Structure 1
Amino acid sequence: MTPQPGEESTETFEALLRYVRDARGFDFTGYKRTSLMRRVRHRMDQAGFSTFEEYLDTLQASADEFAALFNTILINVTSFFRDPPAWEYVRDEVVPALLAERGPSDPIRVWSAGCASGQEAYTLAMILAEAMGVDEFRQRVKIYATDVDEEALAEARAATYEAKAVESVPEDLRDRYFESVNGRYVFRKDLRRAVIFGRNDLVKDAPISRVDLLVCRNTLMYLNADTQRNVLSRLHFALAPRGVLFLGHAEMLLSHADRFSPLNLKYRFFRKVASVEDHGTRHAAVLMAERQGDVSGLASIRDLAFRAGPVAQIVVTGDDTVAMINQQAETTFGLSARDIGRLLRDLDVSYRPVELRSYLEQARVERRSARIQDVQWQRPGVDTVWFEIHVNPLVDTENGLLGISVVFFDVTSTRALLDKVVHTNRQLETAYEELQSTNEELETTNEELQSTVEELETTNEELQSTNEELETMNEELQSTNDELHTINDALRERSMELDEATDFVESLVSSIRLGLAVVDRQMRVVVWNRGCEELWGLRSDEAIGKTLTALDIGLPTAEVKPLIGKVFVDADVSEEVIVDAVNRRGRAARVRVLGTAFRSADGSGNGAVLLMEVVGH
């Protein structure tokens, strides 16, 4: 079946996105197709291509064209203190609260995700330095600024900007934090060291952890709903307890109230919602520490405890995304921290040493645990390993699914022991009791680890899509605003010239004392000057557009028509005739009519010019 033109175009566009992902390492497949296709077509129009297939061939051969496409897709619209009222809220409310909640020597960690050319990161640095003092800022603050655009990151690392770029920085801050060098403004080097720039793809790379303030503005609106859920899961994981998320004014998180609570909806500030552990299931020692007001470092301790667990364990979210992997699981199955955030079904461990997907689905749908016994794993050159695998749904007090824990108990030694004592009943009972005791301890450990799993979003973000699309278009319009101003100025100048030319022609026609009429080749009147009005008594608005022969005037048009016909035939001749006519007062008059061709710009005759004057009565 032959694909329709629209279908073929969509398939070729998807092939182009796959090439960019596989060959260049930039994955745009999670972006909204409407805005993404519009940006690609915009670049294609600039480069002179009409089909995605032609453009894909060029991308495969030209690294420069790929760079141009990448810069077109990533609309790096940013500035210092962009949306000033929102930054005033950061200065007056968010930063003072953040400092008050932490000890005098606790580190402050900030993440500017999608930092573009660095203005946002340096804005954060100025606000924090003002609140804490420069010396304390240098000792305590780390600002991590990330983006996928290496060219923009290189500009951000240089920390030097044109005078126009720093116009939005208040003058007193500009004097304190920038140095003027050769007409450009350079951010203070001693504070620049606190800002760490690096490449990070929010869709697939591991997030920065234990962040107190996370700024991610006007990034989510470009992503589709599934990708937004994935990214928001990473942002939630990145935030420290009571950490603050600062979004763009088109991003509302209406469907994520279970993970982020609004701090200030007007300026799009949200606070990380405490996970299940904050609702009554934490260890007594943690509760005691909270009552004493000292909870610093507990999140790190829990992370390290999970990482150091002696049994291989993987925790996935309700939508099959890998959320946690401990060190034993990495060693046993060849995993790494980069696999966090990937789908479990894309990893070998999902089907080797045993097919896990059906058990995960059972846990997800039925909220029922599963125990897979006698799982044999034979790797080349390595002794056979036997596992007992526990698949446990992690649910909250209302039976809502938070995630699924998969624990791999290495029971190789136990099986060997059971084989040796198979004929001895007493030894068999002892081994069984030891195994039961071990299982009970591990199940207790598993229950405690459930408190570290963060609940993932399962609802749809469609309520936001229209607003986000409009915001995307607004960002694009900003980038073309200068071009529109230039076009408007040119049109205004041309309009003034046209008005002057029109005034000149009208003045010229009105200044001619003789009767002047211009007719086109259909004998319709095009020009009828004041001399004609005074001679024949017919206003110009009554004559223009009418056929000359149909006008109710005293001009014998039957005698004038041959003259006009000769002019139409030969544009180079001038003809004259004197006719007996009746003027506007009803008196007889002899009128001389001179006819010449009405020439267009290319010299061809488009009509006739008639000059009429009274020569006698």
Structure 2
Amino acid sequence: MTPVDPQFEALLVYLKEARGFDFTGYKRSSLMRRVNRRMVEINVSDYAAYLDVLQVQPEEFTALFNTILINVTGFFRDPDAWEYVRTDILEPMIADKNDDAPVRIWSAGCASGEEAYTLAMLLAEILGPEAFRQRVKIYATDVDEEGLAQARHAAYGERDMRDVPADFLDRYFETNGNRYVFRKDLRRSVIFGRNDLVQDAPISRIDLLVCRNTLMYFNAETQSRILSRFHFSLASGGVLFLGKAEMLLSHASLFLPVDLKRRVFRKVPRSMPHNGSIFADLPQPPPRDELVGLDQLRTEAFLASPVAQIVVTSDGLVALTNRRAEAFFGVSSRDVGRPFRDLDLSYRPVELRKYIEQAQVERRMARVTDVEYVRGGGETVHLEIQINPLVDTDASLLGVTLIFQDVTDAKRLQDELEHANRQLETAYEELQSTNEELETTNEELQSTVEELETTNEELQSTNEELETMNEELQSTNDELQNINDQLRDSTGKLDEANAFLEAILTSMRAGVMVVGMDLQVQAWNRRAEDLWGLRREEAVGQHFLNLDIGLPVEHLRPMVRQALGGGEQTEPLHVPAVNRRGRAITVRVVCTPLSRDHETITGAIVVMEQDEPGS
């Protein structure tokens, strides 16, 4: 058994929700193999990444579906089987019908249409073109829109026609360039449409159902569901024609082999048991000769019932509707086989699906009363709905029957009686109403008093809270005032210290420059401005080595580095320079460390003084 891959299952769920293709019933091994083949073609490593590709590139859906839905078909594929179908199935079937009776054929999984046109040629041979056009309907369905588009054109190349007999080619095809086109007058009897065998409703009253090499791609559970729908589709005595790779050995209750070698099977008729269910696992022969027509009698009795009834299978499909339901709700035999949830009746005038589920789970009748339903002409009727579970003799659930009883007349009589009672009670109700109004007014006044008392208490509480907040704000304001006074005192002292330091630097006759540990200039006195022509606001913040003055500062770097490292200068340094007037001078430079506590060096003080001649 193929292990379940959560990412792959998530991919299948996305395909179903995004594009309506339900591949969850396909065999995982072959399905994963085909998806992996497509992933290799576009170089995608895992299913989660491929899901991202599908979300971003919608055109990838087409390539993926073409890979999954391998459309292998052809005209007269397996000629021996088709000859048998012609001579032993179609000819006797048509011979047993009245001359004007319709012939209904379904080609399920028709791919590009060769199979459907093969059926058309065989039936045209048997009936003749005129009778074929009047009596035959061939329904050809598939889930692949691209294949259906090709089939609708009915045009094929020479390679596609290699298995068509020469006389058939002359009679049923017209040449158009290098293409062979099926006859247009016969083409109108071949109807192509999209149908998902897993999800969509089957086509009913079919005489021959051809589904070749399609079932093998589904798992056993899905095959059983599809075969059950095929059984429903086929008319009494209808024939199912499968492909070589498909067997029905485990479905003897639905189909019996006509020719096992050629995979031809005939529908097994199902009887209707006494509890009203419409499906049974095995055909039940009538116990006595006089009850041969019992199935038809029961069906006709159901259809003619004066009460609207609808029967739904255990898996939610519409199984039967009678004439009253058809006239009342607009459902018809075309809805048989459709999911009940797809009918408007499932949720209007009342949500019935939850009651159906309740009846199925609890195995007892559910009842919905007082339901108003507006019919097509605007007429409003009142319904009472009963949902009865249908249980087999072995207690297995077969489905439910919905019975819609028209209680409009009873409802009208009940309304008239209630109206009379209301008129008799009007006087008492008016007096009672007056009394109640007075009581209500008293209660409202009492309530107003209580609300005012409550409001007063809330206002008192709010006032106390505001007083507390006012006290807290006053205390905070006092604290802020103290802090502001302290800051003002500190600022005054700092201003005095700065003024004192500025006076010292200004009074010095030598130029003074203070640099930090990062060699950024922090102080620059008036004498330094006079020497080099660089104002204090231009010098402060500059890197010592980037100063554009007449002093070769690069010669001072060792001396400054020594001071920043805590070393003392033993001798002043005499450096040639150019003052602000452009004259060559000699400058005497002394550099000392700047320390905060005689231990921590925070910078260096550079003193620059012009040497006097002869000194």
Shorter-chain TM-score bucket reads: 0.5 to 0.7
> Which of the numbers 298, 316, 319 marks the counterpart of 1:323?
319
**Unmatched 5+ residue regions in structure 2?**
273-283, 421-615
1:107-145, CA deviations, whole angstroms, 9 ceiling, x for partnerless residues? 111111111101001111111112222222222211111
Tell me whether 1:375 sits opposite 2:369 in the alignment: yes
After TM superposition, list the pairs within 5 Å mapping 1:86-485 onto structure 2: 86-276=81-271, 279-280=285-286, 287=293, 311-325=307-321, 340-342=337-339, 348=347, 352=352, 355-361=355-361, 363=363, 370-373=364-367, 375-377=369-371, 385=382, 387-393=384-390, 403-411=399-407, 413-415=409-411, 417=413
1:451-477, CA deviations, whole angstroms, 9 ceiling, x for partnerless residues? xxxxxxxxxxxxxxxxxxxxxxxxxxx
Contact 1:59/1:65 (8 A) holds in 2: yes
Following the alignment from structure 1 to structure 2, what is the Cα–Cα distance between the partners of residues 11 and 371? 40
- The alignment of Structure 1 onto Structure 2 pairs a total of residues equal to 400
Contact 1:390/1:408 (8 A) holds in 2: no
Following the alignment from structure 2 to structure 1, what is the Cα–Cα distance between the partners of residues 184 and 385? 56
- Equivalent AA in structure 1 for residue 217 of structure 2: Y
Offset of residue 95 of structure 1: 1.0
With normalisation by structure 1, the TM-score equals 0.57
Following the alignment from structure 2 to structure 1, what is the Cα–Cα distance between the partners of residues 218 and 45? 26
Contact 2:104/2:205 (8 A) holds in 1: yes
Contact 1:259/1:273 (8 A) holds in 2: yes
CA spacing shift, 1:374–1:318, aligned 2, 3 Å: closer
Offset of residue 165 of structure 1: 0.9
CA spacing shift, 1:16–1:307, aligned 2, 3 Å: farther
Following the alignment from structure 1 to structure 2, what is the Cα–Cα distance between the partners of residues 320 and 392? 13
> Which of the numbers 79, 96, 99 marks the counterpart of 2:74?
79
Q: Which has the higher contact order (CA 8 A, sep 6+)?
A: 1
Tell me whether 1:14 sits opposite 2:9 in the alignment: yes
Following the alignment from structure 1 to structure 2, what is the Cα–Cα distance between the partners of residues 70 and 222? 14
- Equivalent AA in structure 1 for residue 413 of structure 2: L
Following the alignment from structure 1 to structure 2, what is the Cα–Cα distance between the partners of residues 320 and 268? 30
CA spacing shift, 1:270–1:385, aligned 2, 3 Å: same
- Equivalent AA in structure 2 for residue 411 of structure 1: V
- Equivalent AA in structure 2 for residue 323 of structure 1: A
Following the alignment from structure 1 to structure 2, what is the Cα–Cα distance between the partners of residues 418 and 282? 49
Contact 1:126/1:177 (8 A) holds in 2: yes
In structure 2, the residue corresponding to 1:104 is in which secondary structure?
coil
CA spacing shift, 1:205–1:309, aligned 2, 3 Å: farther
- Equivalent AA in structure 2 for residue 355 of structure 1: Y
- Equivalent AA in structure 1 for residue 339 of structure 2: R
Cα RMSD for the two superposed structures: 4.1
Contact 1:394/1:405 (8 A) holds in 2: no
CA spacing shift, 1:338–1:105, aligned 2, 3 Å: closer
Offset of residue 205 of structure 1: 1.8
Following the alignment from structure 2 to structure 1, what is the Cα–Cα distance between the partners of residues 353 and 114? 49
With normalisation by structure 2, the TM-score equals 0.57
Following the alignment from structure 2 to structure 1, what is the Cα–Cα distance between the partners of residues 335 and 48? 33
Contact 2:355/2:387 (8 A) holds in 1: no
Following the alignment from structure 1 to structure 2, what is the Cα–Cα distance between the partners of residues 418 and 146? 53
Following the alignment from structure 1 to structure 2, what is the Cα–Cα distance between the partners of residues 257 and 129? 33
Following the alignment from structure 2 to structure 1, what is the Cα–Cα distance between the partners of residues 258 and 398? 24
Offset of residue 373 of structure 1: 4.8
- Equivalent AA in structure 1 for residue 43 of structure 2: G
- Equivalent AA in structure 2 for residue 317 of structure 1: T
Contact 1:395/1:403 (8 A) holds in 2: no
- Equivalent AA in structure 1 for residue 369 of structure 2: V
- Equivalent AA in structure 2 for residue 407 of structure 1: I
Offset of residue 391 of structure 1: 0.7
- Larger Cα-atom Rg: 2
